[in-house]
Amino acid sequence: MPDNGVNDFVLKIGTVNGTGSASANGLLLKALFRMGIPVTGKNLFPSNIQGLPTWYGIRVSAKGYMARRKRVDVMVALNAQTYQKDMDNVSPGGFLVYDSTWPRERQLNRTDITILGVPLAKLCNENFSDARVRILMKNIAYVGVLAALLNIDTEILQALIEETFASKPKLVESNLKAISLGFNYAKENFSCPLPVHAETMGDNSKHIMIDGNSAAGLGCVYAGATVGAWYPITPSTGLMDAFKAYCKMFRIDEETGQKNYVIVQAEDELAAAGIVLGANWVGARAFTPTSGPGISLMSEFIGFAYYTEIPSVFFDVQRVGPSTGMPTRTQQCDIMLCAYASHGDTQHPMLLPANPYECFEMAVSAFDLAERLQTPVFVLSDLDIGMNDWMIPELKWEDSYRPDRGKVLNSADVDKLEKFYRYLDVDGDGIAARTLPGENAKGAYFVRGSGHNKHGMYTESSEEYKDLVDRLLVKWKTARTLVPKPVLMRAEKETGIGIVAYGSSDGAVLEALDELRDQGIHADYMRVRAFPFNGEVTRFVEQHETIFVVEQNRDAQLRSLLILETNTDARKLIPVLHYSGMPIPTSCVVEGICEHLCAKDVA
Amino acid sequence: MSFIKKPRIDLPGQLTNEIGLLKRDYEGVLSTLCAGCGHDSITAAIVQAFWELSMPPEKVIKLSGIGCSSKTPAYFLSGAHGFNSVHGRMPSVAVGAHAGNRNLVCVGVSGDGDSLSIGFGQFGHAVRRNLNMLYIIENNGVYGLTKGQFSAAADKGSKSKKGDINQWKNIDAVSTAISMGSSFVARSFSGDREQLVMLIKAGIMHPGCAIVDVVSPCVTFNNHAGSTKSYTYTRDHYHPASQTDFIPPASEIKVSYAEGTSIVVDLHDGSKLLLKKADSGYDATDRSRVMHYLEQQRARGEVVTGLLYINAELPEMHNIYRTSATPMKDLEFVKLNPGSEALAKLQAGMR
């Protein structure tokens, strides 16, 4: 961290849920982004519609670190209920902004931080007449205060407000007024800017701000998905919202007004899974977004799809379990559930995006893989990726892309065959060709979850049963060659230490690698991007003496999967775990690794 | 004799339908159900109905849940794709299949356990969406494959084979479907082939979710004295409320009935349903009177059959969604993918 705190600080804002602070926080984030500074925003919100405390954390990092930091340099405390706690959380030397309309002398008991009182309510009450407007503008006024304190470009703020309310000029006026109320008060009363502040930096024009759910929903549109089925569940809801919004944008026939998509809000997750299977069976690309509890409910159909070999795509935006758990908090707790979901011998490919960029990419590859392998494919995102705004390189699209529909025989292909057998592996890759309903009676077959043989007929024969499930293992081997490879980062120096992580733990590991290196600890890093593990994963595990497996769950699920699937010595896989429901901070990785290495030294 | 392969025997003089197919072309593999099972009669009625309609088998999909009834799609239309899904979830697979390809003719076969217990929710939502399908409930009041437990359709006071008396009120598929706003509800009996074939044809052509609840006695577990789903009991209490004739498009109604004794319902494809009232005053298009009538007959212990309620004007799922006339699975990729230029434009708003 630079000593002066320029373009390297954490800003946290504590407000009350439902008071409109989200748009103010978004405004701050976007303004910093447009100043060309790497920035991330993380929303910490309750499972509530209105009234409970909510926080928004913005990390500004010239070096581009995206992980959560536990440090708080500037806190804006606007919620009386959490005021004390919010003040306690400010790091020594930091700053606290509070609404001084009401006296709080007795609570202002910290001498190691700078306390800045701004009469936000008073300013807004004096300048706006409508009660609701006063509440909303209080949020915009603190944006103005922060603009002065943190040197945020006011011209950018103005442009953003004008863009946001382009169709409502009156709102532009009141928002700009609120900005200047806060801005001027801070300029007149404090020494601006603070030592921690922003300065216009590089060029973010090749980057965008987007949340993972929107990116995944957009990916489904680009993949050519036409049927989406779902049952509302936090934190996956935004994915279907996005799919719907982008379909409205791109998929409505201009002449007829007819829709080139079908979105079914199902009666429950069981039905959502059934709808996805039905649509894929007839040849339409279909998916469902859900979260852990939904996967539990869908599991019967997931096993059915595995055994009957129906392509299907399941997005699991993970949240804290078990049971209802903490639905607005993040975790990586479903990796084991999804890997082997359903009864009997079942195993499923999983894609593990680490950010919204990969949510978009992997949404597309999930459909290709599902149709190539004729099996359910999971995309495991989480609340942190799905619902927070991330700065990512702009998304790219290759117009020459065509979907991989896998082995599908059309009517003419079927006519050429003497006889069509649904589950006959002709190519030796464990994948048999399928036909689509509605095309050719000769290609008709019967999907059944009960025992069936390679000809697609009912069977209770031991040999025929084994023949079929053994072929599914051949297919699993094929899957290994098709799923995305891990991302490998070699340390500057040769080392026996490896770190393995996946998904949203990536940011914390990347930053930790630098911090550890500065402490003289060198580690190679492998970010796993898919299951089944391919050769690269196995080799990495084999090649390192000590491997730290960083993940966000209590039971070290990725570690268990590695032990199960690579036959490695379990003792060399050291779990580094974070499961509080908050995104994993860098310190967790650094401390976890240091503690283990120190203990080893002492021993 | 279910271990033998069903022989294909060509007999001289067999009739072909309009598309040149024999009835045999609408059959499937040999049934493995018990000899005398009502379900096999329903299978035969389905074969007959599709043959009479001259429906190309490949245009049809046949789906089911789990149970004896749900095995039957293997026994008809071997030229149609089939989907024997999981217990109680056939309707959701049908929703997906129809969402993906709206041109398919969809037949769902379910049972009373499958639709009125484990799948009660999905049954209700197929009705609610008015999913364009024929939804047959082969209703025998028992779980056969698990050896004779009462189902939710078993009447209160009905006796099981082991001698237990059912203490629970039954869930009636017909009145439930009507009260949920169904567009087509019929009841029939596996022993009345003529009525059943007509109702199946009407249900196939009805542009919405056609519920056909068929009393289908289980010869092994529910065909004894004291059962209210036996052949004997059903015959004794059989009560047709209306008689239905299916009139294909461009055909004339040849039979004439005295005014007030029949109703003509127009279906969207130009075909017609002619409902002849057996009971004077019964009007299958008047929901509140239908419910009243059914309640009266229920109190008398009558098994009311026929096309009991119809509203061919209710929009089906795709009409409500305003889905493209081209099935989803046939839409060209270029129509579905917005392309790189659109992506760049979209992202300009994300900075």
Name the residue ranges covered by the structural domains of chain B: 23-320
Residue contact B80–A261, C-beta within 8 A = no
- β pairing state of A376-382 and A350-351: parallel
pLDDT the model gives residue B242: 85
Residue A187's pLDDT band, with cuts at 50, 70 and 90, is: very high
Q: Are B142 and B128 in contact (CB under 8 A)?
A: no
Nearest chain A residue (CA) to B62: A446
Residue B98's pLDDT band, with cuts at 50, 70 and 90, is: very high
A57-61, A201-205, B92-96, B317-321: segment of lowest average pLDDT = A201-205
Residue contact B84–A446, C-beta within 8 A = yes
Out of B61, B321, B347, the one facing A262 most closely (by C-beta) is B321
pLDDT the model gives residue B178: 97
Out of A33, A264, A403, the one facing B351 most closely (by C-beta) is A33
pLDDT at residue B33 is higher than 70: yes
pLDDT one-digit tens code per residue, A158-174:
999 999 999 999 999 99
pLDDT the model gives residue B4: 63
Mean pLDDT of B319-343: 98
Tokens linked to A563: 């032990």
pTM of the model: 0.96
Residue numbers in B near A396 (CB within 8 A):
340, 343
pLDDT the model gives residue B255: 63
Q: When comparing pLDDT for A271 and A170, which is higher?
A: A271
pLDDT the model gives residue A2: 44
Using CA atoms, how far residue A176 sits from A28, A147, A182, B243, B334, in Å, is: 14, 12, 10, 74, 44
pLDDT at residue B191 is higher than 90: yes
Residue A602's pLDDT band, with cuts at 50, 70 and 90, is: low
| C-alpha–C-alpha distance, residues A394 and B331, integer Å | 28
pLDDT the model gives residue A248: 98
| C-alpha–C-alpha distance, residues A91 and A71, integer Å | 6
| C-alpha–C-alpha distance, residues B116 and A15, integer Å | 49
Residue B8's pLDDT band, with cuts at 50, 70 and 90, is: confident
DSSP string, A388-418: SEEEEEPP---TT------SEE-HHHHHHSS
Tokens linked to A136: 């909303």
pLDDT at residue A416 is higher than 50: yes
pLDDT the model gives residue A603: 58
Mean pLDDT of A583-602: 91
Mean pLDDT over each residue of chain A, to the nearest integer: 96
Residue A105's pLDDT band, with cuts at 50, 70 and 90, is: confident
Total beta-carbon pairs less than 8 A apart between chain A and chain B: 227
Residue B274's pLDDT band, with cuts at 50, 70 and 90, is: confident
Mean pLDDT of B32-56: 96
pLDDT at residue A207 is higher than 80: yes
pLDDT at residue A80 is higher than 50: yes
Q: Are B219 and B70 in contact (CB under 8 A)?
A: no
Using CA atoms, how far residue A377 sits from A224, A294, A486, in Å, is: 16, 15, 17
Out of B59, B84, B346, the one facing A447 most closely (by C-beta) is B84
| C-alpha–C-alpha distance, residues B349 and A319, integer Å | 29
Residue pointed to by tokens 């004291």: B226
If we measure between CA atoms, which residue out of B128, B124, B117 comes closest to residue B87? B117
Tokens linked to B254: 């040849």
If we measure between CA atoms, which residue out of B310, B273, B261, B313 comes closest to residue B290? B310
Out of A210, A264, A446, the one facing B99 most closely (by C-beta) is A264
| C-alpha–C-alpha distance, residues A522 and A267, integer Å | 52
pLDDT the model gives residue A3: 47
pLDDT the model gives residue B276: 81
Mean pLDDT of B50-62: 97
Residue numbers in A near B74 (CB within 8 A):
446, 448, 458
pLDDT the model gives residue A11: 97
pLDDT at residue B217 is higher than 60: yes
pLDDT the model gives residue B331: 98
Nearest chain B residue (CA) to A394: B347
| C-alpha–C-alpha distance, residues B292 and B297, integer Å | 9
pLDDT at residue A344 is higher than 60: yes
pLDDT the model gives residue B1: 40
Mean pLDDT over each residue of chain B, to the nearest integer: 93
What is the Cα A83 distance to its own chain's centre? 30
Mean pLDDT of A1-25: 85
Residue numbers in A near B325 (CB within 8 A):
256, 258
Q: Which of B2, B55, B89 to mutate to test the interface with A (most CBs of A within 10 A)?
A: B89
Residue numbers in B near A397 (CB within 8 A):
339-340, 343
pLDDT one-digit tens code per residue, A34-76:
999 999 999 998 888 888 899 999 999 999 999 999 899 999 9
A264-268, A497-501, B5-9: segment of lowest average pLDDT = B5-9
Instruction: Confirm or reject contact between B89 and chain A (CB < 8 A).
Output: yes
Nearest chain B residue (CA) to A259: B323
To 10 degrees, the CA torsion angle through B294, B297, B302, B303? Answer: -10
Out of A33, A256, A438, the one facing B104 most closely (by C-beta) is A438
Residue B282's pLDDT band, with cuts at 50, 70 and 90, is: confident
pLDDT at residue A113 is higher than 60: yes
Q: When comparing pLDDT for B302 and B60, which is higher?
A: B60
Number of Cβ within 10 Å of residue A569's Cβ equals: 12
Out of B74, B99, B122, the one facing A267 most closely (by C-beta) is B122
pLDDT the model gives residue B259: 65
**Chain B (41-70) residues lying within 8 Å, Cβ to Cβ, of chain A:** 56-59, 61, 63
Nearest-Cα distance to chain A for B205, in Å, is 17
Q: Are A139 and A21 in contact (CB under 8 A)?
A: yes
Q: Catalogue all structural domains in chain A, each as residue range(s) with its CATH number.
A: 8-189 (3.40.920.10), 210-393 (3.40.50.970), 408-482 (no CATH), 487-602 (3.40.50.920)
Residue pointed to by tokens 């095995």: B71
If we measure between CA atoms, which residue out of A341, A349, A317 comes closest to residue A331? A317
- The fold of B23-320 is Rossmann fold (3.40.50)
From the number of C-beta atoms within 10 Å of its C-beta (0-12, 13-18, 19+), residue A223 rates as buried
Helix or strand holding residue A378 (H, E): strand A376-382
Amino acid B334 reads: V
Q: Which of A160, A203, A231, A262 to mutate to test the interface with B (most CBs of B within 10 A)?
A: A262
Tokens linked to B257: 């009935």
